[in-house]
Chains A and B, each alone.
Chain A
């Protein structure tokens, strides 16, 4: 239960950062935080009390659910891809406007 709370707290902090901060790199950090939170959420759904990692070892009967692991492997890679692309967009914007603050960019770009 505490794992659900922790991961949703990460999601909530991430959303707070995205909404309230005006700095683009800070917003990307927030997005990364949301991603990490959702990944932790998925893994904790797949946990089975007393289970071991789903690798056949011959004598242990109880394994955790392997599907969320597969999903999270996908989600982690997707997260880093989005982050890299977002950062390169931010760098491009900085080259043109010289600032990272949304309010200043809004003034500069008609």
Chain B
């Protein structure tokens, strides 16, 4: 028996405690953070173990659901929590290498980013979701500009402007729902959604969708992504790709399926996802800086997830969740690797990175991650793309699937170009990576390979996805 609230209370407790610890030992704070994230990972595993049996509902304050706030975790919520906790833990090991001044505040911000992302996944109350969205985005604003150079600040300010407009839209959506139903609990809203005026319901959904779309890197609202991913510290970028982005896309999915009970083919969402894919991949193809290329590629991948959710058959949604898993691991790995490569080469351009990945400690994980992103069979990424395509064929959306496959070819081309440079004959000696640099990458790569060869446990977790589409937790 584990309480979901502990997953929120633990990082929050240590975030409050860190300044006190930092008074007598500044260096020790980093190790405390790693320890806390490790415990969080264990809690997430225990939680997943429990939600496989039955959905967990935790009543805060002991009030019955629509009266008080509840946390509710279903199978998918448990899965997402595990993805977030795993990436946070592994990236926090990498943080031991990169010291960011002031250290104590950096660690507090990353703990609270973890707390916000987990909270967005497990909460069952729509206004509480907004509060956690704000926690996540304010922590992200702080971390995005942590380099305190012009590039970091100019990326972050775009993020702040778009993010706060987005959250205002979320609040307007909540206001519309509240005005018509006088409740904030998601399941209560879902049960009584028919009482809402259809027009008001449409506007409320649109504004919530646009609001969460900012964080989920959806097409017209993702202009902040390249600037932030370019200017933020490398470990932070890895966190962004694997934590807040995933939790907000899950929030998007819950808005669509759980709260508003749309099911079946949503052409609007699917086409928006497809445009996002095309935009991301085309622009990524034209980049010559490594981190920008990865950032745009990340937009493309998020578009694939949105598309999978929009097609709305059980298979494609299953594929979308698989894609979330694969993308979180692979992109986090690649951004960590990019941090090392830029440090070793002292340049951000791809053409300068001749032979930097020749060292097998870096090269092998990078190749695994890229192959997984491209959807090659023995890796996790394969199942994601494969099931999205199968689901699309199931829904007879042949046009969308054909365009999607065309976009994938663009992706293959630019990653192949990168591999060709990075594995060429080295022109000079590069510093070899320290253990804290290559160990996190190894962990991610091992997870990608293991779950690529034995995907059965994940299919078991995702087996109830059709219930989620029909409005379950």
Contact = CB atoms under 8 A, between A and B. Distances in A.
Asked if A and B form a direct contact in the complex, defined as CB atoms under 8 angstroms apart, the reply is yes
Interface of A: 11, 15, 18, 24, 27, 31, 34-35, 38, 41-42, 45, 65, 67-68, 71, 74-75, 78, 81-82, 85-86, 89-90, 92-93, 96-97, 105-106, 108-110
Contact of A27 (B131, B161, B174, B175): B161
Report the 6 A-B pairs with minimum CB-CB distance, sorted nearest first.
A96-B150, A93-B153, A45-B179, A86-B160, A92-B153, A109-B154
Given A71-B127, A82-B160, A38 B172 contact: yes
Contact of A34 (B160, B168, B175, B182): B168
B141 A38 contact: no
A23 to B, nearest CB: 12
Contacts of B167: 78
B184 interface: yes
B157 interface: yes
B403 interface: no
B165 A15 contact: yes
Given A41-B175, A42-B171, A67-B178, A89 B165 contact: no
Nearest to B174: A71
Nearest to B184: A67
Contact of B150 (A34, A78, A97): A97
Contacts of B174: 71
A87 to B, nearest CB: 10
A91 B233 CA distance: 20
Contact of B171 (A67, A75, A82, A110): A75
B118 interface: no
Per DSSP, chain B at the interface is helix
B457 to A, nearest CB: 39
Given A38-B168, A41-B172, A42-B178, 12 more contacts: A11-B168, A18-B161, A18-B165, A24-B157, A27-B161, A71-B127, A71-B174, A86-B160, A86-B164, A93-B150, A105-B150, A105-B154
Nearest to B171: A38
A71 B128 CA distance: 10
Given A85-B141, A93-B154, A96-B153, A45 B175 contact: yes
Nearest to B149: A96
Contacts of B172: 11, 38, 41
A45 B178 contact: yes
Most interface-central of B131, B148, B157, B167 (chain A CB within 10 A): B157
Per DSSP, chain A at the interface is helix
B179 to A, nearest CB: 5
Contacts of A34: 164-165, 168
Given A15-B165, A18-B165, A68 B178 contact: yes
18 contacts: A15-B165, A18-B161, A27-B161, A35-B168, A45-B175, A65-B182, A67-B178, A74-B131, A75-B171, A82-B138, A86-B160, A86-B161, A86-B164, A90-B157, A105-B154, A106-B154, A108-B150, A110-B151
B156 interface: yes
A42 B164 CA distance: 17
Contact of A93 (B131, B157, B175): B157
B61 to A, nearest CB: 13
Interface string B159-194: 011001101100110110011001010000000000
A29 to B, nearest CB: 12
Contacts of B179: 45
Contacts of A65: 182
B379 to A, nearest CB: 35
Contact of A89 (B134, B141, B151, B178): B141
A89 B171 contact: no
Nearest to B163: A82
A81 B138 contact: yes
A89 B303 CA distance: 29
B376 to A, nearest CB: 35
Nearest to A68: B178
Nearest to A27: B161
A13 to B, nearest CB: 13
Nearest to A42: B175
B142 interface: yes
A1 B148 CA distance: 46
Contacts of B145: 89, 92
A81 B163 CA distance: 13
Contacts of A92: 145, 148, 153
Contacts of B131: 74, 78
Contact of B160 (A42, A85, A109): A85
Interface in B402-440: none
Nearest to A35: B168
Interface in B249-290: none
Contacts of B134: 78, 82
B184 A89 contact: no
A89 B168 CA distance: 20
A52 B76 CA distance: 44
Interface string B132-149: 001000100110010011
B366 to A, nearest CB: 26
A89 B227 CA distance: 14
B166 to A, nearest CB: 11
Contacts of B151: 109-110
Contacts of B164: 31, 34-35, 82, 86
